[in-house]
Amino acid sequence: MLRAFFTISSLVVYLFCFASISKSEIVSRIILLVNDIPITQSDFQQRAVFIQSNNPQLSVSAVSSQAVQELIDEAIKVDASESMGITYSTDEVALALDKQLKAQGTSLEKYAEKLRADGSDIKTIINARIAATLWNQYIIRKFRKYADITVSEVDKYKRDLLEKEIFHIQILKIQNKDASPEKLYLAENISTSFQSCANNLALYKDHPDIEVDDFFDIRINELDEPFKTILNHKSDQFLLPMQVIDNELVVMINCTPKKIISDFEVQNILISNQLKAYSEKELRNLRQDSVIEDKK
């Protein structure tokens, strides 16, 4: 709302002019009330230092603006979540963060020491995680029932993913106008004895009865039929079904099989995208309805 925008803008100017975001004394004075949730000078300085350390190219005013907006949004999220009866455990949030940091080769304790050395505090990260955790539960509880995914949406998502993939395809053609059993055996042997696409080139590129087409860096939509349709359905397989086309036995080999994402995984991705859209809209609405008091 206009009042909130004015408050943020004026506060950023104030902090830019009068408050250092370096390793200066941290004051616990309340500078904002967001739906009666206090944001202190200490909260601001710790968040601003953290943002600056991760984005050294940002100007002081840009850092200040981002820090204020993040803190306001987090207070709004916490307020909305708690009004719905959603609770959290600081210890659980800290434990989850520690687990993530250990997977990256450090720990919560070591990370906290680094932040202190930079003039910030692990509290700013914990508070951000708490707000994100509560908000995620709030959005799921309020909007999950509206998230609706159809079979056609799942299929389209998978097709779109596959169309972006780059393949290496080999197509081996054997003339067989006379329907020779020997030629059929040769075609079947290509499949049954397959080791690698590189080995195929070494074995068959000079074979008098075999024409080898080797397509590097090709997308599905660049292939002719029936190869496009076959690859669409069997992109995870090396050896594709042999075809008879215009008196030729055609062996198609997918040298770069792709992992096919499951329908369940796609559904989760699409539901997550829908919930993200609900989340963004809900936060915009709550910003408009929030009472933000400038206490500086």
Q: What is the pLDDT of residues 138-162, one digit of tens each?
A: 999 999 999 899 999 999 999 999 9
Lowest mean pLDDT segment, chosen from 18-27, 51-60, 80-89, 136-145:
18-27
Tell me the average pLDDT of the chain.
88
Determine what percent of the chain is predicted with pLDDT higher than 90. Answer: 66
The two tokens of residue 234 are 């069997």
Please, which residues have CB within 8 angstroms of residue 281's CB and are 6 or more apart in sequence? none
Spatial separation of the C-alpha atoms in residues 286 and 128, rounded to whole Å: 18
State residue 34 phi and psi, 5-degree precision: -115, 105
Average pLDDT, stretch 289-293?
A: 93
For residue 19, report the phi and psi dihedrals to the nearest 5 degrees.
Answer: -125, 120
Residue 283 has pLDDT above 60, yes or no: yes
Residue 43: CA count within 13 A, CB half-sphere: 21
- Structure tokens that stand for 161 in this block: 């993913």
Answer whether residue 239 shows pLDDT above 60. Answer: yes
- At 15 the pLDDT is 53
8 A C-beta contact, residue 184 and residue 176: yes
**Rounded average pLDDT over 38-53:** 93
| Residues of the chain above pLDDT 70, percent | 91
Confidence (pLDDT) at 12: 55
Report the range of poorest mean pLDDT among 26-35, 103-112, 218-227.
26-35
117 CB-contact burial (10 Å; exposed 0-12 / middle 13-18 / buried 19+): exposed
CATH (residue range 2-146+283-294): 1.10.4030.10
Nearest to 75 by CA among 295, 219, 296, 287: 287
- pTM of this structure: 0.72
pLDDT of residue 75: 97
> Which residue, among 27, 115, 18, 21, has the nearest Cα to 60 in the 3D structure?
21
Q: Which of 25, 22, 43, 24 is nearest to 34 (CA)?
A: 43
pLDDT of residue 9: 52
